[in-house]
Amino acid sequence: MLLGVGPDGPVRGRRVAVTGIGAVTCCGVGVEALWDGLVHPSISGERRVLGFDVSDYFEAKEARRVDPFAAFSVASAQIALEDAGDLGVDPARAGVIFATGVGGFETLADQVTVYNERGARRVSPFLVPMMMANAGAAHISMRNGWRGPSETVVTACAAGTHAVANAARLVATGRCDVVVGGGAEASMHPVAIAAFTNMTALSTSGVSRPFDVRRDGFVMSEGAAALVLEAWDHAVARGAHIYAEIAGSGSTADAYHITAPAPDGAGAVACMEQALLDAGLGAADIAHINAHGTSTPLNDLAEARAINKVFGEPGPAVTSTKGVTGHGLGAAGAIEAVASVLAIERRLIPPTYGCEQLDPEVHLDVVRGEARQWEPGPVLSNSFGFGGHNGCLVLLPPEE
């Protein structure tokens, strides 16, 4: 991973291995549930987390004092850490970088109602620790006794990708040997849904159709995903299973509009190019793109044109897993990073569920219908958020 560019060219750090993955999504709890949902899609309606029992992760008293987004954070991280096995890491050299778009929105909204209906004295004393955006990262670090950096990224729909990228840099620079990176969201409160509806961002049909000519907005979802990132040599020394390598990342801003993407896609183009430079790859090296692909008319077209500018037409095989998972806002990039790891591990690219009639203005090789077998190669995962935040990750199949 590139740490910077000095007078003598790129300065590279330690290799970063992915040794554990976890997910809590509308497909169910766990990575296998996510994968089954992606390759055998049949979901419809609301994209809420299925089969989640908070008592599996918290004692009864504690469970009442944690917002769902933080509970999802802890659950996805615990699944990923159990998957990674015995890390044998110095707690001072282990950290957490977790993301969210809006944090404990459900708790905040509910307590505003309490205030309005029952008065100030009835507001929960636990409101602040439940609503604060950093609660997810804090709970993960406390539960594991890790005393390295514990930080939260809040960059709207790009937050999950930025969190994984920032976690990887902590490992690459040598500050940490192990970092859990990921993101979580649980903001499907009626007020939030009304807000997105009134700004015409949500699908009026209730169907997520990335890159389809009939797409009419995104389908909101909740969930979380986490990746255990580890120094390559550390992982090899303990005999860990290595899923993939985080080879590079990019982060740019459109500096254009608070919600709309830059029409020329300049920010997205720069972010993809930066991620390629960071990974030491050219456009021709990328074999697959997990697109942001929200199913909104403007965003899908802007992303498609940006991909064409970098990779030509039609470019690498593209999928948007949001056809299944919906748009998890701050969790989306982390969920898609896990999906990208699984595509490498399982040697299958999931189809873009909901894309049946490809928009004739979208000149991409969109995987549709059924999962596509492939010889795994470098994967680019894109996330572009409100505020003009852009984030990209490059993941590689594990090779010595």
Asked if residue 81 has pLDDT above 80, the reply is yes
Q: What is the CATH number of the domain that holds 204?
A: 3.40.47.10
Does the pLDDT at position 74 exceed 80?
yes
Confidence of residue 261 (pLDDT cuts 50, 70, 90): confident
Active site residue 292: yes
* Residue of 26, 157, 271, 355 with catalytic role: 157
- Domain assignment present for residue 11? The answer is no
147 or 263, which is more confident? Answer: 147
For residue 100, is pLDDT > 70? yes
CB hemisphere CA count around 226 (13 angstroms): 33
**Annotated catalytic residue within 139, 162, 327, 389:** 327
Range of the domain at 199: 16-396
Residues contacting 271, CB < 8 A, separation 6+: 250, 251, 252, 382, 384, 390, 391, 392
Average pLDDT value for residue range 28-36? 97
Q: How confident is the model at residue 2 (pLDDT cuts 50, 70, 90)?
A: low
pLDDT bracket for residue 263 (50, 70, 90):
confident
First-to-last alpha carbon distance for the chain, in angstroms, is 15
* pLDDT of res. 400: 58
Is position 27 annotated as part of the catalytic site?
no
In a domain, 281, yes or no: yes
| Number of separate domains in the chain | 1
Mean pLDDT taken over the chain: 95
The answer to the question of residue 224 being in a domain is: yes
pLDDT exceeds 80 at position 7: no
Contact status, residue 3 vs residue 12, Cβ threshold 8 Å? yes
DSSP character at residue 87: -
Instruction: Flag whether 10 is in a domain.
Output: no
Choose, from 162, 288, 292, 389, the residue flagged as catalytic. Answer: 292
The pLDDT-based confidence of 3 (bands split at 50, 70, 90) is low
Report the 10 Å Cβ neighbour count for 44: 11
Asked if the structure places residue 99 within a domain, the reply is yes
User: Is the pLDDT at 8 greater than 80, yes or no?
Assistant: no
Q: With a cut of 80, say whether residue 6 has pLDDT above it.
A: no
Structural contact between residues 319 and 349, judged by C-beta atoms closer than 8 angstroms: yes
Radius of gyration of the chain (CA): 20
Is 2 contained in some domain? no
- CA 48 to CA 193: how far, in whole Å? 13
Cβ atoms < 10 Å from Cβ of 312? 12
Residue 5 pLDDT greater than 70, yes or no: no
Average pLDDT over residues 205-223: 96
Number of neighbouring beta carbons within 10 Å of residue 391: 30
User: What is the full DSSP assignment across 240-271?
Assistant: PPP-EEEEEEEEEE--S-SSSPPTT-HHHHHH
Residue 385, CA atoms < 13 Å, CB-side half-sphere: 29
Closest CA to 74 of 189, 162, 186, 172: 186
Note the pLDDT of residue 123: 97
* Cα dist from 65 to 48, 139, 223, 355, whole Å: 21, 12, 18, 40
Q: Is residue 355 assigned to a domain?
A: yes
Mean pLDDT of 362-375: 97
Q: Which of 1-5, 128-132, 144-148, 294-298 has the lowest mean pLDDT?
A: 1-5
pLDDT, residue 393, reads 98
The whole-angstrom separation of Cα 35 and Cα 377 is: 19
* DSSP E strands, the chain: 2-6, 9-12, 16-25, 28-29, 94-99, 150-153, 178-185, 223-231, 244-253, 288-290, 317-319, 348-349, 365-366, 372-373, 379-385, 389-396
- Say what percent of the chain tops pLDDT 90: 93
Note the pLDDT of residue 43: 82
- Per-residue confidence (pLDDT) for residue 46, from 0 to 100: 83
Q: Residue 268 falls within a domain, yes or no?
A: yes
Average confidence (pLDDT) over 328-352: 98
Q: Which amino acid appears at position 158 of this protein?
A: A
Q: Model-level pTM?
A: 0.96
Active-site residue flag, 241: no
pLDDT exceeds cutoff 60 at 202:
yes
